[in-house]
Structure 1
Amino acid sequence: MAGNPYYIITGAPSTGKTSILNELRNRGFICHQEIAREVIRENLDTGIDIFPWNNMHGFSDLVLERMINLVKTFEPTTTQFLDRSMVDLIGYMKFANNPVPPHYIREALSVGYSKKVFFLPLWTEIYTQDEERKESIEEAEKIGNALAETYQSLGFDLIEVPHAPLNDRVSFILSECEQFQEL
């Protein structure tokens, strides 16, 4: 196999990542939901006041710990798709002008994520806010830019997923995965 089978799907907020992952899951692939959204939801439900908008480092530490634990469960040859990654934590910190602890970079680079990263650019027609996604559309665009710069600076190759119907986007992603090109 040409690359590691841990594919990241990332990009600006509200660009269709969850819908793509749900469709990949429906097609039988192992997919991991965005951990940051899970932590926000849990903190809202339990009254824990640690969120990216009021405590970026405390929140990121919680998310990083869960991501490290998730990675420990990965099967080394099983294709998996992730909604964001440890690299996203670094990008969000850069967006917020927060210093990035060096161990975040070490952890992100040690996982063995595929160097091909699927990037979903801002798509204003589908952008929405909710209880866990509070960014304005202008902030979402800046986040997308910070994420792209962060991934590229760490040696990842961004594959831009076009704005298209869901099945076309999923087919595009699968067509870019090395192990499916060999079939």
Structure 2
Amino acid sequence: MNRLVLMSGCSGGGKSTLLAELAARGHAVVEEPGRRIVKQELEGDGAALPWVDMAAFARRAIEMAIADHAAAREQAGWTFFDRGLLDAAAALQHLTGEPVLEKLGAAHRYHQRVFLTPPWPEIYTTDPDRRHGFDDAVAGYDRLAAVYPTLGYDVVTLPKIAVAGRADFILDCLPREPRQQ
């Protein structure tokens, strides 16, 4: 059984907060590649920032997500990802037209069920790492919500409830006893 669970959806929809809750409950989590890349780029020359060179940013996110995916396959139990390879590949394909999504998506599968955080204007905020507005976040969500089913994933939209309830909802949607593949 594939135990790599992807959290995707709207930017600013509560993914990072949700992953922190799952980590507090003892689950392995993988931080969003984009956040890690922004931090690294701001400490360096800043060439692969989403507001400077989005294609370079997406390519770096793909590389990082492939490494994250490989490392997580070795872990026991569920591993929850804040975004991942398919989000980065979808962004690159949208920007450049490069047909990377199907190829990468087939080679690096996640659990069948993907959880999407819907647009939630009441909790959306910008910050130094998230500079785009809510309308851009919704457009990204719409693209991802359309892409995942075409790749054979079952999409589950998370309810707009408190983080503990969201974590319970996710865990209730997954088999109780993850087994090795």
Computed over aligned residues only, the root mean square deviation of the Cα atoms, in angstroms, reads 2.0
Equivalent position of 1:42 in the other structure: 40
Structure-2 separation of matches of 1:105 and 1:67:
15
Q: Give the deviation of 1:54 after TM superposition.
A: 2.9
* Alpha-carbon distance between aligned partners in 2 of 1:148 and 1:53, rounded to the nearest angstrom: 23
Q: How many residues align?
A: 178
Stretch moving more, 66-75 or 111-120: 66-75
Counterpart for residue 70 of structure 2: 72
Could you tell me whether the CA contact under 8 Å between 1:50 and 1:59 is conserved in 2?
Answer: yes
**Aligned counterpart for 1:150 among listed residues 142, 147, 156:** 147
**Higher mean C-alpha displacement, 64-73 vs 154-163:** 64-73
SS of 1:51's equivalent?
coil
Aligned residue in 1 for 2:51: 53
Name whichever of 71-80 and 106-115 sits farther off.
71-80
Structure 1 unmatched runs, 5+: none
1:129 — aligned with what?
Answer: 126
Q: Does 1:178 align with 2:175?
A: yes
SS in 2 for 1:64: helix
- Alignment-derived partner of residue 111 in structure 2: 114
Moved more, 140-149 or 86-95: 86-95
Q: What CA distance in whole angstroms lies between the structure 2 residues aligned with 1:123 and 1:40?
A: 23
Measured at CA, do residues 106 and 77 of structure 1 come closer, stay the same or move farther in structure 2, by a change above 3 Å?
farther
Match of residue 91 from structure 2: 92
Structure 1 stretches of 4+ moved >6 Å: none
Residue 83 of structure 1 corresponds to: 82
Amino acid at match of 1:171: D
2:30 counterpart residue number? 32
- Cα 1:90/1:181, change in 2 over 3 Å: closer
Q: List alignment gaps of at least 5 residues for structure 2.
A: none
Tell me, what secondary structure is at the counterpart of 1:78? coil
TM-score, length basis structure 1: 0.89
Q: TM-score, normalised by structure 2?
A: 0.90
